[in-house]
Structure 1
Amino acid sequence: MSTAAILQPSKTNVPRIFRKESRYEFVKLTRTRSFSLATIGFPVMFYIIFGLANRHAFDGNVHMAKYMLAGYACFGLIGAALFGIGVGLSSDLAAGWLELKRASPMPVSAYLFAKCSSAVAFGIIIVSILTIIGTSFGDVHLSPAELAKMLGITIVGSISFASMGLLIALLVPANAAPGIINLIYLPMSFLSGLWVPIKFMPHWLQGIAPLLPTYHLSQLMLGIFHYGDTMSLITHWNALIGFTLVMLGISRIIFHRKEQNA
């Protein structure tokens, strides 16, 4: 039997490899307190401070605590995806860990799948905690259908912004990745109305929001509660899908150039 055949995993082992790699990646992130506590803690803390403070506030038919639940849910899941993929993958590249993985029988796709699935898992955890807080202490009422749609948007949003995290990891050195992500993530979150409703911002800032992928994700989440803007949901879906494809396309080009120059 050739060496290549020995190193090539059998088809029956591939699902097991994907499952184990995802499990170990999730456990690693959970045990990395600087990631898990901050990623979960910040959106929860902000929602407790600002969301619960508006549990009795209404703007017309809009319940502000419910509105902010959607905003901070997006804020949390985006952070989990960007930091989990962007910082994690960048650190692995700098340490040569990805090269070691590629030399093993494990498919590279299993590594990327594990990163993405862990980001999705953290996104679901964050949204679930925020939902429990909102329904328990913020007078927020959610139907089972609304909760299911929120979790669905969480999965889609996590995958979409994982593509952005991938691009950042390929472009930015490991020691600069956290700072660069914050410089991108925090302004985008604010300008997209994830912290403060868009209508309360100056008009010139309101015009920037539709240019940002974070805005389109938040409108899809707000659309579950019928709190979205006047644009159609198809427009928001197309914008988010287009953003994801662009991020993946650029990442693919950069990755192949790195391969050729290696």
Structure 2
Amino acid sequence: MNTTTALDLPGVPHSPLRSYALEAWYEWRRLLRTPSYVIPTLLFPALFYVLFGLVLNKGRGDAAQYLLATYGVFGAMGAGLFGFGVTVAIEREQGLLTYKRALPMPPGAYLVAKMVTAVLFASAIFALLAVLAASFGGVSLSVAQWLLLALVCALGVLPFCAIGLFIGTLVGGQGAPAVVNMLFLPMAFLSGLWLPLKLLPSWIAGMAPVWPAYHHAQIALKVIGLDGGGLLAVHIGVLIGITVLFAALARRRLAG
């Protein structure tokens, strides 16, 4: 980071929040310049949505609308798990975390920057899905539904950030992508993100509530009236509990 560039960052006043803003700005720019993160994170949810939501279902019925919500959740999962699980593991292995501790910056700026970046990527993914759904899938929602669905997908990235952070404290940089994928892909399928749970065997549907992605998806589906009928408070409570639990576990490992 160039000191002159940092001091000249437009729109960021000299204040106690400056370190957070600068760290988030450079984390965002760094990931944008990382094709191995940007391409799969942004494009895979859109490609899957085009295939399963538009081509195979021809954009008819509730399929395009249902998959808009669930692939928004799928995108948020990827942004959180890979944005933390892989990058934290690599940076911890390279000694960057030790270097960060020695800098005169707030201890939380490093993690806040990654969370902000994950939220921005989740928002970008949903925006891309929304354009596809509205333009080619015949999805028509009210303005309030569009905005609320975008908010749910963006904020729902946080539990997966916490899980990814914990993974990043456990494994090295070489093994992190494999570990994250071993969790990411099965969770997406078993939570009903790729196919509605009613189309899957009953034992899979019965186990779905153990996955955080299921609860996130149910909240998103509630916005468009296609959820399974569970209590909103329960889904929110589970996601908050998972976020707090894995953040605490990761903090304990980082402190140790």
Give the TM-score, by structure 2 length: 0.92
Task: Give the match's secondary structure for 2:188.
Answer: helix
Question: Which residue number in structure 1 is paired with residue 60 of structure 2?
Answer: 57
Task: Give the match's secondary structure for 1:67.
Answer: helix
Question: Which residue number in structure 2 is paired with residue 20 of structure 1?
Answer: 22
Task: Give the match's secondary structure for 1:108.
Answer: coil
For residue 97 of structure 1, report the CA deviation from its aligned partner: 1.0
Distance in 1, matches of 2:49 and 2:15, equals 43
Report the residue type matching 2:60 in the other structure: A
For residue 57 of structure 1, report the CA deviation from its aligned partner: 3.2
For residue 108 of structure 1, report the CA deviation from its aligned partner: 2.0
Question: Which residue number in structure 2 is paired with residue 48 of structure 1?
Answer: 50
Count matched residues.
243
Question: Which residue number in structure 2 is paired with residue 217 of structure 1?
Answer: 216
For residue 255 of structure 1, report the CA deviation from its aligned partner: 2.2
> Paired residue for 1:32, among 7, 10, 34?
34
Question: Which residue number in structure 2 is paired with residue 152 of structure 1?
Answer: 151
| Distance change >3 Å, CA 33–CA 56, structure 1 → 2 | closer
For residue 230 of structure 1, report the CA deviation from its aligned partner: 2.0
Q: Is the 1:30–1:36 Cα contact (8 Å) retained in structure 2?
A: yes
Identical-pair percentage: 39
Distance in 2, matches of 1:65 and 1:76, equals 16
Report the residue type matching 1:31 in the other structure: R
Distance in 1, matches of 2:124 and 2:202, equals 35
Task: Give the match's secondary structure for 1:207.
Answer: helix
Higher Rg:
1
Task: Give the match's secondary structure for 1:208.
Answer: helix
Report the residue type matching 1:57 in the other structure: R
Q: Is the 2:53–2:59 Cα contact (8 Å) retained in structure 1?
A: no
Q: Does 1:137 align with 2:173?
A: no
For residue 35 of structure 1, report the CA deviation from its aligned partner: 0.5
Report the residue type matching 1:43 in the other structure: P
For residue 241 of structure 1, report the CA deviation from its aligned partner: 1.1
Runs of 4+ in 1 over 4 A off after TM superposition: none
Mind listing any 5+ residue stretches in structure 2 that lack a counterpart? 1-13
